[in-house]
Amino acid sequence: MRAIVQDRYGSAEVLALREIDVPGVGDGEVLVRVRAAGVDPGVWHLMTGLPYLVRPMFGLRRPRNRVPGMDLAGVVEAVGPCVTRFAPGDEVYGTGRGTYAEYTVAPEGRLAVKPANLTFEQAAAVPISGQTALAAVRGAGNVRAGQRVLVIGAGGGVGTYAVQLARAAGAHVTGVCSTSKIELVRSIGAADVVDYTREDITDRGHRYDVIVDTAGNRTLSHLRRAMTEKGTLLLVGGEASGGRLLQGFDRQLRALLLSPFVGQRLVPLVSVESTANLDTLRQFIEAGEVVPVVGRSYPLAELPDAVRDIGSGHALGKIVVVI
């Protein structure tokens, strides 16, 4: 099968299209013929091996998994022993291991039936970003009707879902984005939009009950000035331009240390991929309350360009690779 292979850490040049064997299927696993796969900032981090903090988990000197990629949408080809939820021919979406390939293997518990109203390309844009936003809005943030919610990076992969999920919860949503994304952010449900190239989040004097920060380039003290006294700050990811050891994730560590001593909740966000979360997202999607925003699609051979695009930090919505 054709697959993108990475044998060392580095820039996008380390990604190469090669022919490799189709992976075997173990107990509780599903072999999926991949039709499309999402690209998120995590792919950039694992390609570069930065911050160094991630290397003990994913390979000290080289990637432990030669084929990158986690998001997927495709068709079940075969199932391993003990799999009861899926059968060959089922259309699924979720997360797997090495999805930038014609076939991938995924645990049964990280797949779900693909939303009926989405193409494979749209469905591949959902799993990681959608579940991260779900963990922020419905999980740690516990967003409720009538609250004021600020989403920083509202035009990006996680941000577009956070805006829509907060709006579906009945919150008053303000999105923060660049000038080119203002109309998009309004169209997906933001009541107000802050153009960060022209004004600061504190300029209007509003205080927010929940802030979802996907950008990573504002200090904790700055963000806290925009929060209510009992507000919640949800930190998603780090900043790619930070130091090589922690690359912005030091802000999450500082938030953990500071949170017990202030009235506000400062929460480094950890999302968990599961069938239950994917089923919840499917319900929102099939009800028309959440629509995936696919900014740009690339063929498999052009994955290096897709990763450069996501590494710029200015991609619109979610980038997808079509296989």
Q: Kindly indicate the confidence band of residue 6, based on its pLDDT and cuts at 50, 70 and 90.
A: very high
Residue 243 has pLDDT above 60, yes or no: no
Task: Give residue for tokens 């911050």.
Answer: 51
Q: Kindly indicate the confidence band of residue 111, based on its pLDDT and cuts at 50, 70 and 90.
A: very high
State how far Cα 55 lies from the chain centre.
Answer: 20
Q: Kindly indicate the confidence band of residue 22, based on its pLDDT and cuts at 50, 70 and 90.
A: very high
pLDDT, position 241: 47
Domains of the chain: 2-126+292-322 (3.90.180.10), 129-268 (3.40.50.720)
- For 56-67, write each residue's pLDDT tens digit: 777 778 888 999
pLDDT, position 55: 78
Q: Please give the Cα distance from 150 to 236 (Å, whole number).
A: 13
How large is the average pLDDT for residues 248-260? Answer: 82
pLDDT, position 244: 55
Percent of the chain at pLDDT > 70 equals: 96
User: Does pTM top 0.85 for this prediction?
Assistant: yes
Q: Kindly indicate the confidence band of residue 257, based on its pLDDT and cuts at 50, 70 and 90.
A: confident
pLDDT, position 46: 84
- For 284-314, write each residue's pLDDT tens digit: 999 999 999 999 999 999 999 999 998 887 7
How large is the average pLDDT for residues 202-213? Answer: 96
Q: Kindly indicate the confidence band of residue 247, based on its pLDDT and cuts at 50, 70 and 90.
A: low
Long-range pairs for 80-87 at CB < 8 Å and ≥24 separation? Answer: 80/25, 80/26, 80/27, 80/28, 80/29, 80/30, 80/31, 81/27, 81/28, 82/27, 82/28, 82/108, 83/28, 83/29, 83/30, 83/108, 84/108, 85/111, 85/275, 86/30, 86/111
pLDDT, position 295: 93
Q: What is the mean pLDDT of the chain?
A: 93
